[in-house]
Amino acid sequence: MTNQIRPEYPRPLLQRSHWLNLNGLWNFGTDSDNVGLNQQWWRRDSWPDVITVPFCPNSPASGVVIDPATTCVWYHRSFELPEWDSEDVALNIGACDYRTQIYINGQQVGQHEGGYTPIHLAIGDYLKPGQNQIALRVTDSDSWQQPRGKQAGTTRWPIDYDGVIGIWQSVWLEPINRVHITHIGSHYDRAEQQLHLVCTLAQTFTGQCTAALRSDSEQVAFAEVNSQGRSEVRLQLAVAEPQLWSPDRPFLYDLALSLVDAAGENLDQVASYTGLREITVRNGKQCLNGEPIFLRGILDQGYFPTGWYTAEDDQALRRDVELTKAMGFNFARKHQKAEDPRYLYWADKLGLLIWAEMPSGRIFSSELVTSLSAQWLDLVRRDRGHPSVIGWVPFNESWGVWHVQQRPEQRAFVDGLVNLTKTLDTSRPVIGNDGWEYSSGDLWTLHLYHEPERSLDERLAGLEADPSQPVTKGQRPRNGALQGSDPSNLPMLLTECGGIGYQGNKTQADAFAYGDLPTSVEALEQEIRTVMASITSSRKLQGFVWTQFTDVQQEINGLLYFDRTPKLPITTLRAIFGPA
């Protein structure tokens, strides 16, 4: 079995020097009759198929085709345990959709729920020298009571895509001690010239936690704190003459963290990085490092032609960031997908601002409240160390809280999750319900597609005068804000617009776009320029998000085709979307 698939370290914010990549070929089988538990498939010797991990079944890169209605799959492989001198070993799976049971050498050692959050499990007690066996049972459903994002379920909207089941991010092992760092968060305060760090530990610990900040191998700041029997440690590092991070100059500092117990034993050492930048919302302005910033954004679904949720290789993730910047954008709204940490790394390194968004469910229930809240808070903990991430979006267009205007429990869900997000991170804006029906949050974000009969400024002025005005048409119009909420003093952003489709020479029966399709590239360019002219002329907006980065399957709203080929020359797109 090969380990040459996605060989890069999967979690750039928290790297350990020793690790074993388990990507590559795994044994695989579907369990349509749900007999695997009774028949103890975790002990199975022969398997009907092999799959390339970390690509989900039915994606071309996986090498496996299954019935899309399949709700249970099994994975298995053997591996040689390295001779690590460590107290324990952690199994890491970046993401596996949706409910995962894990077996090591014939014993169930853990389980996990959630299709977007990482699995980190201590398995050392179940391992033996030499060859070991790992098996996974993964179940999913088509229920919209669980967070699914844009995976097609019981119904397929024109904006839904093929579903995902099973492993879709990298799998790896690493040696650890029982006490080790599991998450790193950071934010920078310009007035104090201090970097604030929060380190989450696997268990309570009494000893020293140290942090060293370096630039070009030269230490520029150091902090040490006694953890005093806690499982979360906070450190402050004073940084004289800081080099600030921005899209134009994405300077990153190296960060080294360690845990040392009372006897002086070094329990954990991790390598990380950070960017010193401050994002604030004050006096109706959104600012980066104290200066107002206009967000020129693209809506990015994060789907790939051969791997769906998963990029073919690390260069494909880097290329997406580079293409976004080359087209003139400084910002990407990652839509209905918790993105691969490697993408966020490239955004950090190359200088692209990001909103992190929770994939939605669409049926309000106790299950949705519980599962979405737990996964969202895990994702905030996972990503709050990335300087590129400048906003949290727990809800989109009232998906899953369709009756937020009428049902107080749905409004409480939105407002509660906004506040819970702030308990973990006060350094970034929270966009409570992106698109309409504002009730809480730090920005007022609206989804307005082009209407020839009314200018954009007319529509924005009407909403500013009365935020409860409808944003959408139809039998159940959505209002700009809920009764009792007044976002008119907040920064106003147009976070979905455009949506102009173009197929080129292709013909697709189920092709979807907002409005009629231009019949030539010249007509496409003219329509894009017309919409953008209304946006750039507006004095009310502090940013926009264009729909969208690429075509995805049947949706043809992309500035690029699904294979990332541009529909218009990149230089033309940059002239339209880039800074004036």
Both tokens of residue 210?
């140290």
Q: Which residue has the tokens 């009232």?
A: 398
Both tokens of residue 339?
């993105």
Both tokens of residue 108?
């169930």
Both tokens of residue 224?
């040490």
Q: Does residue 24 contact residue 2 with C-beta atoms inside 8 Å?
A: yes
Both tokens of residue 390?
């400048």
Q: Which residue has the tokens 């993964």?
A: 138
C-alpha 184/C-alpha 508 separation (Å) is: 45
The two beta strands, 331-334 and 295-300, are: parallel
Q: Looking at 167-176, 238-247, 314-323, 474-483, which range is the least confident one? A: 474-483
Q: What's the average model confidence in pLDDT over 250-261?
A: 97
The β-bridge partners of 28 are 49, 75
pLDDT of 153 = 64
Supply the mean pLDDT for the chain.
Answer: 95
With bands split at pLDDT 50, 70 and 90, how would you rate the model's confidence at 156? low
pLDDT digit string (tens) for 490-531?
999 999 999 999 998 777 778 888 878 899 999 999 999 999
C-alpha 319/C-alpha 314 separation (Å) is: 9
Cis peptide before 273 (omega within 30 of 0): no
- Is pTM, for the whole model, over 0.95? yes
C-alpha 298/C-alpha 321 separation (Å) is: 11
Q: Does residue 427 contact residue 390 with C-beta atoms inside 8 Å?
A: no
* Residue percentage of the chain with pLDDT more than 90: 91
C-alpha 339/C-alpha 549 separation (Å) is: 15
With bands split at pLDDT 50, 70 and 90, how would you rate the model's confidence at 1? very low
pLDDT digit string (tens) for 307-364?
999 999 999 999 999 999 999 999 999 999 999 999 999 999 999 999 999 999 999 9
The β-bridge partners of 308 are 304
Cα dihedral 416, 359, 565, 448 sign: negative
pLDDT digit string (tens) for 402-453?
999 999 999 999 999 999 999 999 999 999 999 999 999 999 999 999 888 8
pLDDT digit string (tens) for 534-543?
999 998 999 9
Nearest to 172 by CA among 52, 24, 45: 24
Question: ∠ CA(181), CA(389), CA(22), 5° rounding?
Answer: 50
CA distances from 420 to 2, 233, 270, 374, 394 (A): 42, 19, 28, 11, 10
* Residue percentage of the chain with pLDDT more than 70: 99
Q: Which residue has the tokens 């939605």?
A: 360
With bands split at pLDDT 50, 70 and 90, how would you rate the model's confidence at 155? low
The two beta strands, 492-498 and 444-447, are: parallel
